[in-house]
A = this chain, B = another copy of it.
Amino acid sequence: MDKILLWDALRARHRSVAFVDMVLRGCSQVMFQNNPLTGLLFFIAIAVGAYGEGLPQVVIGSLLGTVVATLSAAWLVNERETLRAGLYGYNGCLVGTALPTFLQATPFLWVVVIFSGVISVIVTVGLKKLLRTWDVSVLTAPFVLTTWIVLLASYPFGQLHHIGLPAPAMPSNYELADSYPGMLPIITSALHGASQVFLSSNAPEGLLVMLGLAVSSLRAMLLALMAALLAVAAALLIGAAPQPVSSGLYVFSAVLTALALGSVYKPSGWHVLGYIFIGVIFTVLVQGAFNTLLVPLGIPPLTMPFVVTCWLFLIANPNVIPTTQS
């Protein structure tokens, strides 16, 4: 398309455009796309969600995190192609989105966002070498590990005031209410789940996320939508509490699982779809397990259920083709 050619010409000529392109692609890689327009739509989605929750600092954080991570990677790493594709930016983007969501907006917060953006790159490079042995990607593990460290440290450190964290508590049983609150709005829950990838619960944001996926790959958008609906259904079937289901908290990791597995197993057949189906449902189960695991520590699972599930499924079956497996 002409617009794409124009953009390519611009970024070849101007270093500033090339940098903006890298930052936008960094944001798009949060959902495994390599497309600056997708990144732009995701940033707009974050802004919509941030203003909806009255936390405008979140959108500044997401931009700052992506920029810092991209610059640190340019300093620390010598892989131009990977850098250009935004693959060192997306974890910084998520760190920059998460920290202002959970921590109070003091001036010190921005120091922490910048420091954590740098750390996210070091974690990315370290994990990459660690995982090279089994030929799997780091996914969003650098985001989760970096953010967990800061959130855990916010308990003993007085300058890191958290605002949105659940209070540490012992795991408790959820008992199904006798009167189940009618039908949940399944479509809304699915859209909330799409927006929860960027840590807020906002249907218009979810729509923008889906639109961002669609401009990059219609197949990716359809996979994400199917996975979101399936995750809502699975969570209801297994008896999750209605409130977290409708906030999309059982959905976002499942959506990422479908996108990650779907982007690795390109030629979809029944085998592949069956494997992704099991992966999506397993992600919902793992999400429940992580809730219990982390409730005494007062931190959220973030996207770890997705990371754990995909590492397992990808290492177990790089091709999902039984006949060629050794």
Contact = CB atoms under 8 A, between A and B. Distances in A.
Interface in A146-192: 148-150, 152-160, 162, 168-176
Interface stretch (A86-94, A220-228, A312-320): A312-320
A214 to B, nearest CB: 31
A288 interface: yes
A125 interface: yes
Sort chain A's interface into a size bin.
35 or more
19 contacts: A76-B317, A76-B325, A78-B326, A118-B278, A122-B313, A126-B311, A130-B315, A149-B289, A152-B293, A153-B286, A155-B172, A156-B240, A156-B291, A158-B174, A158-B175, A158-B239, A159-B239, A293-B297, A296-B297
B159 A289 contact: no
A316 B285 contact: no
A51 to B, nearest CB: 28
A29 to B, nearest CB: 19
Contacts of A149: 285-286, 289
A273 to B, nearest CB: 14
Contact of A170 (B122, B168, B324): B168
Given A315-B129, A322-B77, A156 B292 contact: yes
Contacts of A312: 122-123, 126
